[in-house]
Amino acid sequence: MMCARCNKPIEPGEATEVIVNPGATAVGADIEIHAEPCAPARQQTAPDGRWR
């Protein structure tokens, strides 16, 4: 299982939070993230000018 926030693998036994994706009823709608705050893989506020 990959963390949906930092996009890194969640190790067995590591604390996670499960988020049920609203509107998605297919298998795999539940996503897991680290229970502890982790750095998002994609940052919305990119300092460089390539975003615009």
Beta carbon of residue 36, minimum distance to Zn ion (angstroms, whole number): 8
Q: Please identify which residue in 1, 6, 31, 32 interacts with Zn ion, judged by CB under 5 A.
A: 6
Give the residue from 21, 16, 22 showing the smallest Cα distance to 3.
16
Give me the residue label for tokens 């300092």: 47
Pick the piece of the chain touching Zn ion (CB under 5 A) from 13-21, 23-31, 32-40, 42-50.
32-40
Give me the residue label for tokens 């615009």: 52
CA distance 11 to 28: 18
Q: Please identify which residue in 38, 44, 45, 51 interacts with Zn ion, judged by CB under 5 A.
A: 38
Q: Which residues bind Zn ion (CB under 5 A)?
A: 3, 5-6, 34, 38
